[in-house]
């Protein structure tokens, strides 16, 4: 089976790029273009640490090189950047994915949760009734399968495109991480804003909640459900685990599903509030900003 988009996956774009991040030296000389705007413009240097400096560590962070393939999922890109998945992002089997997702130093998922994600994902990617035996990280960007519009940090797929954009949109990212901590409320509110601006079907809405429920569970469990935005910034932007990353627990299917229900409940509350206060200038401003950011690319289409 193809891992790079021949017969199974239509036209793996040759112009596909991996997310470019500056090297530490570039950062020092130019200032980091991705740094979150804080009051003093600073970034916690203990977090901004490059594990590249440990060349003997097989799981050191290494940015993708020109021929490496990456996709829209920050979790899987991170596993490849740390060598838990093939660093070139190609020929990845279900077994590779399960091993990497369940690894006690990555996301530490329980086997049932990892299986639901991996086999569920591969099922959604099937072509001509056949489930792929291996995939590349870009194969999962096939629009409308697992991949959906109204993403938190990616723009919508332009009309007529088969694959979704995989580069993180810095405006979306910056607005998402404008507070020091990420909470379930913030995620639910953002999902409502995104889905009002760019409606998606029930399955994709569920998938989107599942993605963030995993994130809240994996990164937020020890901190009363709050995630330090710097940690998320590094993970979403550079697809990298911060220095000293260790999961605090095994992330289970039941916990992930229950957090996803909680996100849905909060979303309903926000939707109702929105309906009550739909003259609220701030809500309208946010929605139109998001729509503009999501669809920028669409407007550039002929
Ligand atoms: C620990 C496990 C995982 C976590 C924490 C995770 C997290 C996420 C998050 C937060 C996003 C949203 C990015 C955004 O909104 O812009 C995302 C996107 C995505 N993930 Fe994962 N993911 C995991 C595993 C997987 C697996 C196993 C697959 C497939 C086999 C997958 C496929 C995707 C795809 C296709 C997207 C793009 C969705 C879109 O924004 O349209 N993910 N993931």
What does the alpha-carbon distance between residue 110 and residue 127 come to, in Å, rounded to a whole number?
28
- Is residue 19 included in any domain, yes or no? no
Check residue 23 and give its pLDDT.
37
| pLDDT tier, 16 (very low <50, low <70, confident <90, very high otherwise) | very low
Q: What is the span of the domain harbouring residue 202?
A: 68-297
Phi, psi of 82 (to 5 degrees): -105, 5
* Model pTM score: 0.82
Q: Tell me: the pLDDT tens digits for 90-108?
A: 999 999 999 999 999 999 9
Judge whether residue 291 has pLDDT over 50: yes
Instruction: Name the residue with the closest Cα to ligand 1, atom 37.
Output: 147
The CATH number of residue 87's host domain is: 1.10.489.10
What does the alpha-carbon distance between residue 117 and residue 218 come to, in Å, rounded to a whole number?
15
Report yes or no: 103 and 85 within 8 Å, Cβ to Cβ.
Answer: no
For ligand 1, whether the C-beta of 290 sits within 6 Å is no
Give the C-alpha distances (Å, rounded to integers) separating 188 from 42, 76, 203, 219: 28, 23, 16, 16
- Is residue 248 included in any domain, yes or no? yes
Query: In 3-state terms, the chain is what percent helix, strand and coil (to 5)?
Result: 45, 5, 50
Ligand 1 geometric centre to CA of 141 (Å): 10
For ligand 1, whether the C-beta of 173 sits within 6 Å is no
Ligand 1 geometric centre to CA of 209 (Å): 10
Rounded to whole angstroms, the maximal C-alpha distance in the chain is: 58
What does the alpha-carbon distance between residue 250 and residue 238 come to, in Å, rounded to a whole number?
24
Tokens linked to 249: 């627990």
Ligand 1 geometric centre to CA of 266 (Å): 21
First vs last Cα of the chain: how many Å apart?
34
Pocket test for ligand 1, best of 70, 201, 211, 237 (most atoms within 8 A of CB): 211
When divided into structural domains, the chain yields a total of 1
- Is residue 80 included in any domain, yes or no? yes
Ligand 1 geometric centre to CA of 47 (Å): 23
Q: Tell me: the pLDDT tens digits for 219-244?
A: 998 888 899 999 999 999 999 999 88
| Top-ranked range on mean pLDDT: pick from 15-29, 37-51, 69-83 | 69-83
Q: Name which of 51-65, 173-187, 199-213, 233-247 the model is least confident about.
A: 51-65
Q: Tell me: the pLDDT tens digits for 160-188?
A: 999 999 999 999 999 999 999 999 999 99
Instruction: Name the residue with the closest Cα to ligand 1, atom 38.
Output: 147
Ligand 1 nearest atom to the CA of residue 153, by list position:
16
């Amino acid at each position: 089976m193809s891992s790079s988009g021949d017969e199974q996956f239509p036209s793996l774009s040759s112009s596909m790029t991996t997310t470019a991040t500056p090297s530490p030296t570039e950062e020092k000389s130019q200032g980091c273009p991705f740094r979150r705007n804080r009051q003093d413009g600073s970034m916690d240097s203990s977090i901004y640490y490059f594990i590249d400096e440990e060349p003997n560590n097989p799981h050191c962070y290494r940015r993708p090189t020109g021929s490496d393939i990456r996709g829209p999922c920050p979790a899987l890109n991170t596993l490849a950047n740390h060598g838990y998945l093939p660093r070139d992002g190609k020929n990845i089997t279900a077994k590779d994915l399960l091993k990497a997702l369940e690894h006690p130093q990555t996301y530490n998922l329980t086997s049932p949760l990892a299986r639901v994600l991996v086999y569920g994902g591969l099922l959604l990617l099937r072509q001509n009734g056949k489930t792929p035996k291996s995939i590349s990280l870009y194969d999962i960007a096939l629009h409308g399968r697992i991949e959906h519009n109204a993403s938190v940090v990616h723009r919508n797929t332009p009309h007529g495109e088969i694959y979704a954009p995989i580069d993180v949109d810095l405006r979306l990212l910056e607005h998402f991480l404008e507070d020091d901590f990420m909470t379930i409320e913030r995620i639910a509110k953002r999902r409502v804003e995104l889905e009002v601006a760019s409606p998606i079907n029930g399955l994709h809405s569920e998938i989107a909640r599942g993605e963030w429920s995993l994130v809240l569970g994996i990164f937020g469990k020890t901190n009363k459900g709050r995630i330090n935005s710097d940690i998320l910034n590094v993970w979403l932007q550079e697809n990298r685990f911060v220095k000293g990353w260790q999961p605090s627990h095994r992330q289970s299917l039941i916990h992930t599903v229950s957090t996803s229900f909680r996100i849905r409940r909060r979303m309903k509350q926000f939707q109702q509030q929105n309906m009550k206060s739909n003259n609220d200038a701030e809500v309208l401003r946010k929605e139109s900003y998001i729509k503009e950011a999501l669809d920028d690319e669409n407007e550039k289409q002929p």
